[in-house]
């Protein structure tokens, strides 16, 4: 269980937040890709836009190239937002056909879902000795996908997004108090749906 606080701003502004917390690089920079699944009525998107709790998002995530292959591999993640924290469950899939993947995710969600959007970006990782973790995302791209995982259109986002991830028992107030004007509820999935005009 953890708290997640997001900031949007220029790259130098967001690196200043990291520097002020004496955070150091925790992992190598890498490219991340996620296919988001939702109901045909986009229930997850609508719940997120309305701020409903509990709410959830489901995605297939992999690293490296953003190309969607016929056989899909990666981690299926189901993120739940509750009243006071967030939780994430995941399981790995390897070389699974597209239709069985949709069936598998639908069975986990207990409702029928379809692939909606592919989101790709570059992520940097930082951590402090006190247990705070930061991720800094840039070069964000959104692509619409049909039910056969064909990319139909793309959009580029020039935003930079910093996310502070703190265990629920760790005080993170000092890391955020000087940057309140940069805080955001930014959701890559919701932004993809809006920009791709579903």
CATH number, domain containing residue 22: 3.20.100.30
Structure confidence at residue 175 (pLDDT): 72
pLDDT digits (tens, 9 = 90+) for 54-111: 899 999 999 998 889 888 999 999 988 887 777 889 999 999 999 999 999 999 899 9
Q: Among 1-10, 123-132, 158-167, which is the least confidently predicted range?
A: 1-10
Residues 189/57, Cβ–Cβ less than 8 Å: yes
Q: What is the pLDDT of residues 128-187, one digit of tens each?
A: 998 899 999 999 999 999 989 999 999 999 999 999 998 887 777 777 788 889 999 999
Number of domains in the chain: 1
154 touches 53 (CB < 8 A): no
pLDDT at 197: 84
Q: Report how far residue 24's alpha carbon sits from residue 27's, in angstroms, rounded to the nearest whole number.
A: 9
Token readout for 35 is 């296919």
pLDDT (0 to 100) of residue 159? 96
CA–CA distance, 98 with 72 (Å, rounded to integer): 7
Q: How far apart are CA 113 and CA 124, in angstroms?
A: 31
pLDDT at 73: 94
Q: Determine contact, residues 23/132, Cβ cutoff 8 Å.
A: yes
For 150, the domain range is: 2-195
Torsion of CA 103, 104, 106, 112, to 10 degrees: 0
Average of pLDDT values for 20-24? 92
pLDDT tens-digit map of 40-54: 999 999 999 998 888
Question: What interhelical angle do 43-50 and 188-195 show, nearest 10?
Answer: 110
Report pLDDT for 51. 87
């Amino acid at each position: 269980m953890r708290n997640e606080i997001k900031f949007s701003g220029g790259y130098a502004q967001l690196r200043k937040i990291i520097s002020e917390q004496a955070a150091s690089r925790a992992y190598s920079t890498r490219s991340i890709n996620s296919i988001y699944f939702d109901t045909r009525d986009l229930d997850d998107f609508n719940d997120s836009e309305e701020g409903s709790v509990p709410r959830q998002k489901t995605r297939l995530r992999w690293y490296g190239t953003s190309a969607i292959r016929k056989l899909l591999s990666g981690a299926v993640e189901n993120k739940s937002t509750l009243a006071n924290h967030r939780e994430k469950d995941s399981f790995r899939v390897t070389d699974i056909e597209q239709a069985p993947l949709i069936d598998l995710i639908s069975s986990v969600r207990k409702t029928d879902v379809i692939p909606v959007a592919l989101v790709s970006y570059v992520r940097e990782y930082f951590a402090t000795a006190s247990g705070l973790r930061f991720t800094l995302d840039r070069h964000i791209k959104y692509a619409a996908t049909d039910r056969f995982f064909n990319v139909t259109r793309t959009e580029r986002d020039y935003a930079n997004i910093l996310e502070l991830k703190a265990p629920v028992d760790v005080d993170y107030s000092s890391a955020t108090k000087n940057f309140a004007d940069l805080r955001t509820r930014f959701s890559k999935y919701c932004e993809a749906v809006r920009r791709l005009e579903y």
